[in-house]
Chains A and B, each alone.
Chain A
Amino acid sequence: GDSVTQTEGLVTVTEGLPVKLNCTYQTTYLTIAFFWYVQYLNEAPQVLLKSSTDNKRTEHQGFHATLHKSSSSFHLQKSSAQLSDSALYYCAYTGKLIFGLGTTLQVQP
């Protein structure tokens, strides 16, 4: 069936170090777009990154992700985590927007 898998429920990283949040998917849709949503405390989720092009890197606010259809992945990475990056991150794709379970990123000083 259609699903998104985020393997880590919680990722803790020290400020200044790189971080990677994993996302893999399973879908029967032919035309799809992928998103990373970020949700800060007591706020609604907002789009951080989006992509529909295979093997093309997309970047925003220091984060980057590359859609790899061959491996059904859309991992989120940042080379240097900041304290303000602490939030809940969701990987999702559409047609019908399917969310992963989310990964909480905690950046420690």
Chain B
Amino acid sequence: GALVYQYPRRTICKSGTSMRMECQAVGFQATSVAWYRQSPQKTFELIALSTVNSAIKYEQNFTQEKFPISHPNLSFSSMTVLNAYLEDRGLYLCGARGQSSYEQYFGPGTRLTVL
């Protein structure tokens, strides 16, 4: 079946430092990968959508300079949170979608704590 892995599951970083998180689709070819942040208030924010053969599209309030994303192939995507501060804390979810379905499969998330 289709699975999405994310690692690390939890990470703690000091304010002003950066951390990288990874997302891997297993069992299907991820034609698009979306990164979300779920805030402590539980709302979902779409950070960016990465589609194969297209440029990565960032949503308002999110930039490539702050959240650079690499999507080198159909199975793997990584995102870095640069210069993390308190407002960047939350659960970062990766959602991947295959060729034949609208359904987006989510990984378990990377929980970022900023000290």
Q: Name the one of A44, A52, A96 contacting B49, with C-beta atoms under 8 angstroms.
A: A96
B90 surroundings in chain A (CB, below 8 A)? none
Q: Which parts of A74-109 form the interface with B (CB within 8 Å)?
A: 88, 90, 94, 96-99, 101-102, 104
A33 surroundings in chain B (CB, below 8 A)? 102-103
Tell whether, in the assembled complex, residue A88 and residue B42 are in contact, meaning their CB atoms are under 8 Å apart.
yes
A52 surroundings in chain B (CB, below 8 A)? 102
Q: Name the one of B44, B103, B108 contacting A99, with C-beta atoms under 8 angstroms.
A: B44
Give the distance to chain B from A5, nearest Cβ to Cβ, in Å.
13
From A93, which residue of chain B is reached at the shortest CB distance? Answer: B102
Q: Is the interface of B mostly helix, strand, loop or mixed?
A: strand
Tell whether, in the assembled complex, residue A45 and residue B42 are in contact, meaning their CB atoms are under 8 Å apart.
no
Tell whether, in the assembled complex, residue A47 and residue B103 are in contact, meaning their CB atoms are under 8 Å apart.
yes
Residue A36 interfacial (CB < 8 Å): no
Tell whether, in the assembled complex, residue B42 and residue A97 are in contact, meaning their CB atoms are under 8 Å apart.
no
Knowing A45-B93, A102-B43, say if A97 contacts B34 (CB, 8 Å). Answer: yes
Residue A50 interfacial (CB < 8 Å): yes
Give the distance to chain A from B43, nearest Cβ to Cβ, in Å.
5
Q: How far is the CA of A33 from the CA of B100 in the complex (A)?
A: 13
Q: Which parts of A4-44 form the interface with B (CB within 8 Å)?
A: 33, 35, 43-44
Knowing A96-B49, A97-B34, say if A102 contacts B42 (CB, 8 Å). Answer: yes
Tell whether, in the assembled complex, residue B103 and residue A45 are in contact, meaning their CB atoms are under 8 Å apart.
no
Q: How far is the CA of A52 from the CA of B103 in the complex (A)?
A: 11
**Residue from B44, B97, B108, B109 having most chain A Cβ neighbours under 10 A:** B44
Q: How far is the CA of A44 from the CA of B23 in the complex (A)?
A: 13
Q: How far is the CA of A47 from the CA of B96 in the complex (A)?
A: 13
Knowing A97-B34, A97-B95, A102-B43, say if A44 contacts B102 (CB, 8 Å). Answer: no
Please list the residues of chain B having a beta carbon within 8 angstroms of any beta carbon in chain A: 34, 36, 42-44, 46, 49, 93, 95, 97, 102-104, 106-109
